[in-house]
Chains A and B, each alone.
Chain A
Amino acid sequence: MFKSFFKTGWRSIKKHRMYSFINVFGLTIGIASCILIGLYITDEISFDKFNTNAGSIARMTMQYSEGSTTTQTAVTGTKAGPQLKRTFSFIEDFARLINTTRVVKLDDKLFTEKKVLYADSPFFKMFSFHLLSGNPSTVLNAPNKVVLTQSISTKYFGTSDPVGKTLNFGDRGDYEVTGVCENAPGNSQIQFDLVASFSSLPVAKIDAEEWWTANYITYLKLQDNKNTADAEKQIDAYMRNTVSKEPGMTGSNLIYHLEPLLSVHLHSALSGLTPNGNINYIYIMLAIGILILAIACINYTNLATAQSASRLGEIGMRKVMGAQRWQLFAQFIGESIVITFIGLALAIFISIELLPIFNNITGKALTVQAVLAPLPIAAMLLMALLVSFIACAYPAFVLSGTGLSKILRSGFSFSKSGGGLRKSLIVVQFGISLFLVIATIIVQQQLHYMQNKDLGYDKDHLLVLPVDNSILKDYESYKAAINQIPGVQSVASAYETPTYIQWGDGVRKTNASADKGISVNAIPVDQDFVKTMKIHILAGSDFTRADLALLDTSNRWKNYWYSFIINESAVKQLGWSPQEAVGKTIYKNFPGTVKAVVQDFHFSSLHEPIRPLVIFLNNDMLYTMFVRVNGSDMQATIGHISALWKARVPKRPFEYHFLNDDYNKLYIAEQKTASIFSVFAGLAIILACLGLFGLAAFTVVQRTKEIGIRKVMGAGTVNIINLLCKEFLQLVGIAFVVAVPAGWLASEKWLQDFAYRINISWMVFLMAGAGVLLITLLTVGYHAVKAAMANPVKSLRTE
């Protein structure tokens, strides 16, 4: 019996080629979207689950407040981990991690490794990074030990065993390779190429431990049955009652939170070694996948109900021959299954083909193996069955239930009876499409706004180079040499890039300990920073060479005197006007003069408002150099700088990038969202229009006689086109009315995440509406024009 159903199904597909194409194409796209989105979501929610201890590992985050501002960071001081372990028995282990860039020397070769992770000895015991050789409890248990990942091992040593070999980390000394581990899985929040023992770092010494200098990500391994919230409470009490009474910690308000390892990636606002995901984006993706599939299903339902009139004869005959209702039902499902599974097969093929592009958009490294594993395949089969059922349920239900006498009596038209449903479904389809289009436009506008916003400094034509330790010794002459290069306008250095200043600090108006001061961000710079960045000075004057001399470290720093340039926000919080502030003394551990006030500029992503900032002169903490070039002969300029670098720093390869790249990296998540929305909104429109195309074709066929008669009665081409398009355009109009508020609400919600954002203009809705209307008109118009131009005699004769 089922064989017969599939056979009829297959033949009916072949007979109605256009409808079948629309259905198969639509379902293919819908299912492929779902497969890709499914893979993405599966990967996101699988983060860190490979760790067998995942349930009992927590990441520490640190919270402190200064004045009225509270700061929360994913990094802690060196003391947090060890001190808490010494205090609480429920903490079994801790691992402090810090990622750095090291230049690794092996024989004569130099490698710049950007993912060198320093980690405490229990690292390999706590986390499930599988060691291929080496003992998890000893590989990192002493200074200057390093574990290589498989890919680094192959890169350095080929196939030979690296264990016992020595790597040179420049002035950091020699490291002994003690083990090789598998590459960190893509779905791990901890990523690394090499893992070196934390004890190699000078700050690791027990007497160097301290709470405040927060550079380290600390993970705790709790006892298996220990609840994180409970642990957090105990730690909180300890910090409040004991630590805050220690010398040097009086009055501190340091609070630690514990985040369960598994909730870090999707639920934490603080990124650690890798950027976090966002559970909201998971929901958005899920919704988009379902919506696209829904559009494809609606196409199927609509075309099936529209076509069903022509199938009533067949259904009637089958009933007369004794088919029962469930048998007819099964037949329709059978047909739908045939179509859906053709779609599924094509979708699997397409998603595998599109995987590299999808990876590119989403920044994932998904593989074919992820698609063809048993679980995804089972899920896909289930999804296809579900889709087959949902898509054909309505037509199957109605057709199989139609009374026999109704069918036999001529004049009954199922297509009329399904009209209301079909119209509502078209409204749903176009509502979804319009919603996605509106969201896409707004996301794109916000992205464009962020990328082109005047930041308060000039981020274009700026080369970013590292400042090597060896350069710092005669930094001034190096800087002068670069300044000599043709095409270079000015040179400056700072601790980090102005696109994202992370250094947290505090300043006070007086030296009194009662003065709580204000919480600020701070950045050490050289004297040309403000000039090179083209930051606008509101009052006062830039740093001078003379200010450097004030940084007097002799006599136990007794005469140490800072020079500060602060921003408008800082001035405001300190309660001065810019003019008043200039010349005032403020304290950042040491006193210093406010030399100038600069206009606020964005030194963080536009998600955050501009915070108070203190720029201070210090030539010992320069890690990043900025070269402003005029851009006329960039290649030659870069070539000169490269030659200079090679002469000065032979032990390290030359590397550079543009500040613009740094800036764009701040918005990777938004760029991803924008790309994803664009792609899927496009797909939604295409699918909805394909469905409409099919329906329009059907309507025209159905109304051929009417059109013929109207033409004979004198209706012109325009009247006919108008007649046919009106109905569909009305539906799009209704969809528009529904989609606008929904699109507005959702976009507004998304935009609330940005401190600096666009305002939604009514033009967006107008554009989206007009665009979709135009596409609809073209889709329906094709058929309408064809029908209107046809010779009415022909259509009437066929009746």
Chain B
Amino acid sequence: MIDLKHVSKWLTIGGVRTFLLKDVNLHIKEGEFVSIMGPSGSGKSTLLNVIGMLDEFDEGEYNFLHETVNKLKEKHRSALYKRYIGFVFQAYHLIDELTVYENIETPLIYTESKTSERKAIVADILDRFQIVGKKDLFPTQLSGGQQQLVGIARALVGKPKLILADEPTGNLNSKQGEEIMDLFKKLNEEDGVTIIQVTHSEKNAEYGSRIIHLLDGRIEKIETK
């Protein structure tokens, strides 16, 4: 599904290149659950953004579902990630002005699906995540764990094949974090959704079938369980 070949990304400051990613080779199959670990500044989030097509890179090749991403035009690329990828963030990034229901509905609005269709999909997800009772609340009225739940529901509403999660439990306490991780595991096992997560926590990393360790923009080692 994901194939990165010799991918590098750098910043040039004062004529000196600082590598954010250096010669990264990575192959991820559909249905995998991959954790990315590493110290601050090792390039975890950059790698995730590159995979999610939110960020560009300077060198190398990236194939996603047999499309060569770095050769696609912006419009085509955004169509691709819109269709196949869902994002979950550490800070949830819910839109404060919208209710739970509307936040989950937003991605569907941008794919211009029909109102009735949208209603059905959102209702289904609310039901599955057991947050029907909270659908008219605003994000600020929810606890962190609940907000992240909504964040994941929103990521799933477009039925993506891949979920990219950037420290999804970083702002949560351990109990809430555990619930979220269990949810990811369930999604991976039951629905076959590919998941790539960035995490600092050894414990959460263990949920993945592979753990990729990054250091200074390189893959230091890959642990397979």
A residues at B contact (CB < 8 Å): 1, 4, 7-8, 11-12, 15, 313-314, 316-318, 320-324, 327, 404-405, 408
Contact = CB atoms under 8 A, between A and B. Distances in A.
A1 B98 contact: no
Given A320-B54, A322-B78, 13 more contacts: A1-B112, A12-B97, A318-B95, A318-B106, A320-B93, A321-B87, A321-B106, A321-B107, A321-B154, A322-B111, A324-B110, A404-B55, A408-B55
Interface in B127-172: 154, 158
A322 B110 contact: yes
Contacts of B154: 321
A322 B97 contact: no
Interface in B67-94: 78, 81-82, 87, 93-94
29 contacts: A1-B109, A4-B105, A4-B106, A7-B98, A8-B97, A11-B97, A12-B97, A15-B97, A313-B93, A314-B95, A314-B97, A316-B93, A317-B93, A317-B95, A318-B95, A318-B106, A320-B87, A320-B93, A321-B87, A322-B78, A322-B110, A322-B111, A322-B158, A324-B110, A327-B110, A405-B54, A405-B55, A405-B56, A408-B49
Given A15-B97, A316-B93, A324 B78 contact: yes
Interface in B96-123: 96-98, 102, 105-107, 109-112
Contact of A4 (B56, B78, B102): B102
Nearest to A310: B96
A404 B54 contact: yes
A323 B97 contact: no
Interface string B36-51: 0000000000000100
Contacts of A1: 109-110, 112
Q: Please tell me the size bucket of the interface on B.
A: 20 to 34
A405 B95 contact: no
Q: Is the interface of A mostly helix, strand, loop or mixed?
A: helix
Nearest to A317: B93
A408 B54 contact: yes
B54 A322 contact: no
A512 B87 CA distance: 107
B20 to A, nearest CB: 11
A320 B85 CA distance: 10
B47 to A, nearest CB: 13
B110 A405 contact: no
B159 to A, nearest CB: 13
A304 to B, nearest CB: 15
A313 B93 CA distance: 7
B109 A4 contact: yes
Contacts of A4: 102, 105-106, 109
B202 to A, nearest CB: 26
B91 to A, nearest CB: 8
A749 to B, nearest CB: 51
A11 to B, nearest CB: 4
A534 B78 CA distance: 90
Contacts of B94: 317
| The 8 A-B residue pairs with the shortest CB-CB distance in the complex, in nearest-first order | A322-B82, A11-B97, A322-B110, A321-B107, A405-B55, A317-B93, A323-B110, A314-B95
Chain B CB within 10 A, most for which of A15, A316, A408:
A408
A321 B110 contact: yes
Contacts of B87: 320-321
A320 B95 CA distance: 12
B102 A7 contact: yes
A570 B112 CA distance: 86
Contacts of A313: 93
A524 to B, nearest CB: 80
Contacts of B55: 404-405, 408
B49 to A, nearest CB: 7
Contacts of A7: 98, 102
Nearest to A313: B93
B102 A314 contact: no
Chain A CB within 10 A, most for which of B87, B96, B102, B112:
B96
A405 B106 contact: no
A716 to B, nearest CB: 38
Nearest to B82: A322
Contacts of A8: 95, 97-98
Contacts of B106: 4, 318, 321
A405 to B, nearest CB: 5
A314 B78 contact: no
Nearest to A15: B97
B49 A405 contact: yes
A176 to B, nearest CB: 75
A307 to B, nearest CB: 13
A13 to B, nearest CB: 10
A712 to B, nearest CB: 28
A324 B74 CA distance: 11
Contacts of B56: 405
Chain B CB within 10 A, most for which of A318, A320, A327:
A320
